[in-house]
Amino acid sequence: MRETIKVSILGNDAEFPANAQLSDLYKALGFSKWEILLLVDGKPCPDDRYLEEGDLVTWIRITYHESPVRDE
């Protein structure tokens, strides 16, 4: 059984333990799940999904802006 796997994150190869989950990537990237949406092979996945050898991981930055117009 493999001890590590290689995944591509924005074009950069990275190694993780073979039992790494998507939630582990948030920590490795220094973001919380409220800041970015991780995509695996172009699709959103649950945080408890296990990474697999060769996964292509990208992310979308989540931003929040308040409207300057107020409802009165």
In the chain, the domains with their CATH numbers are: 4-61 (3.10.20.30)
The 10s digit of each residue's pLDDT in 53-65 is: 888 888 888 887 7
The 10s digit of each residue's pLDDT in 3-52 is: 888 888 777 888 888 889 999 988 888 888 888 899 999 999 999 999 88
What the block records as the tokens of 63 is 């931003």
Neighbours of 8 (CB within 10 A): 13
C-alpha to C-alpha distance for 64 and 9, rounded to whole angstroms = 24
C-alpha to C-alpha distance for 37 and 6, rounded to whole angstroms = 20
